[in-house]
Amino acid sequence: MNQTSASQPITAHPKPTTTANAAMIHLEHVHKVYDLGEVQVHALRGVTMEVHPGEFVAIMGASGSGKSTLMNIIGCLDRPTRGRYMLEGHDVSEFSKIELARVRNRKIGFVFQQFNLLARTTALENVELPTIYAGLSLEEREQLAIDALRRVGLEDRRQHFPSQLSGGEQQRVAIARALVNRPAILLADEPTGNLDSRTSVELMEIFQRLNDEQNLTLVLVTHEPDIARYAKRNVIFRDGRIQRDTVVANRAYAREVLPTLPVIGEEEEEEM
Ligand code: ADP
Ligand code: MG
């Protein structure tokens, strides 16, 4: 296999030192059929894949190929119609809705394209919200939220309302909210979909730092190849199946790319 090619099969990836059972996410022949009465939509058609701790996976594929369906299953928002899903060794495919909600709250952080922040609520309060189930004191909850805001570089914006923050900052608040319960895995479905290209790379810088420095496991959906190359691994979906699963050979590093990108505002001044 040519090492200089843009990507190579995942089998060329160094074998994890731990056993296969140590996979954080283990999907086995997962199918998802949406039953709409008259029609059935077969959104996932036998997906088998693993994600190990510390991985950074970008899920790609055309619209309708099943990416969000996969994320909802991985994130315990939905259950497979057939097949098995093991999360950290626990079979969650048979869990009740209440059990799924408990796992979701403890293990999983979610970030969406729409930031989904509460408008009349400060950044700090938005980030505090998911800690309400953890049985902590107000002081402990606030401290967790401040720590999470610090992880995304926004501790000095804690009293701002969403309307007083840029799109990129709002998404960082949403990431802090996803991180506040110290999840094992962060799932992001098109997190840069509403952001300009520089702000998108700034977001990738945060994801790469969380992945590198804190070993946070990341699974991110994007339809932009430019964004996917910041991940370590790309999985491409087509018609509900995995079409390709590759290691990113020429990985991009946001820290290196950012200084080469124009800052918003400068560009416009030059044109005047
Ligand atoms: P992607 O995120 O790759 O665009 P989705 O997972 O959202 O794809 O959708 C895969 C397929 O499943 C599509 O045909 C879509 O219309 C269908 N689908 C997704 N969610 C639902 C749902 N809640 N009910 C019915 N069909 C759905
Ligand atoms: Mg989608």
- 20 — pLDDT class (breaks 50, 70, 90): very low
pLDDT (tens digit per residue) in 188-199 = 999 999 999 999
Percent pLDDT > 70 in the chain is 89
- Ligand 1 atom nearest to CA at 62: 3
Q: What is the DSSP letter of 175?
A: H
Contact (Cβ atoms closer than 8 angstroms) between residue 22 and residue 88? no
Longest dimension (CA), the chain: 61
Q: Ligand 1 site: residues with CB under 6 angstroms?
A: 34, 36, 41, 43, 61, 63-69
What's the average model confidence in pLDDT over 56-69?
A: 97
3-state secondary structure of 195: coil
Distance 118 CA to ligand 1 centre (A): 26
Distance 257 CA to ligand 2 centre (A): 27
Among all bound ligands, the one having the nearest atom to the CA of 81 is 1
Pair of tokens at residue 39? 């029609």
Among all bound ligands, the one having the nearest atom to the CA of 60 is 1
pLDDT above 60 (res 2): no
Q: What are phi and psi of 19, to 5 degrees?
A: -80, 165
Q: Can you give 114-167 as a three-state secondary structure string?
A: CCCCCCCCCHHHHHHHHHHHHCCCHHHHHHHHHHHHHHCCCHHHCCCCHHHCCH
Mutate to test the pocket of ligand 1, among 30, 42, 67, 69 (most ligand atoms within 8 A of CB): 69
* Exposed e or buried b per residue across 53-69, where buried means at least 16 C-beta atoms within 10 angstroms of its C-beta: bebbbbbbbeeebbbbb
What are the domain boundaries of the chain?
Answer: 22-271
Q: How large is the C-alpha radius of gyration of the chain?
A: 19
| DSSP H or E stretch at residue 40 | strand 40-51
Q: What is residue 93's predicted lDDT score, i.e. its pLDDT? A: 85
- Ligand 1 atom nearest to CA at 69: 6
**Average pLDDT over the chain, rounded to whole?**
90
Compute the C-alpha angle 108/189/46, nearest 5°. Answer: 85
Mutate to test the pocket of ligand 1, among 34, 38, 79 (most ligand atoms within 8 A of CB): 34
pLDDT (tens digit per residue) in 83-135 = 999 999 999 988 898 999 889 888 999 999 999 999 999 999 999 999 987 78
**Around Cβ 195, how many Cβ atoms within 10 Å?**
20
Q: What is residue 262's predicted lDDT score, i.e. its pLDDT? A: 86
Distance 139 CA to ligand 2 centre (A): 37
What is the distance between the alpha carbons of residues 42 and 31, in angstroms, rounded to a whole number?
8
What is the distance between the alpha carbons of residues 189 and 78, in angstroms, rounded to a whole number?
15
Task: Return the residue whose CA atom lies nearest to atom 24 of ligand 1.
Answer: 34
Distance 67 CA to ligand 2 centre (A): 5
Strand partners, 188: 111, 220
Contact (Cβ atoms closer than 8 angstroms) between residue 30 and residue 47? yes
Contact (Cβ atoms closer than 8 angstroms) between residue 187 and residue 111? yes
**Around Cβ 72, how many Cβ atoms within 10 Å?**
17
Q: Is the pTM of this model over 0.75?
A: yes
Task: Return the residue whose CA atom lies nearest to atom 20 of ligand 1.
Answer: 69
- 207 — pLDDT class (breaks 50, 70, 90): very high
Amino acid at 63: S
Exposed, middle or buried by CB within 10 Å (0-12, 13-18, 19+), for 113? middle
- 266 — pLDDT class (breaks 50, 70, 90): low
Class of domain 22-271: alpha beta
Distance 43 CA to ligand 1 centre (A): 6
Of the listed ranges 7-11, 84-88, 158-162, 263-267, the one predicted with least confidence? 7-11
Q: What is residue 263's predicted lDDT score, i.e. its pLDDT? A: 83
Distance 100 CA to ligand 1 centre (A): 21
pLDDT above 50 (res 78): yes
pLDDT (tens digit per residue) in 142-176 = 999 999 999 999 999 999 999 999 999 999 999 99
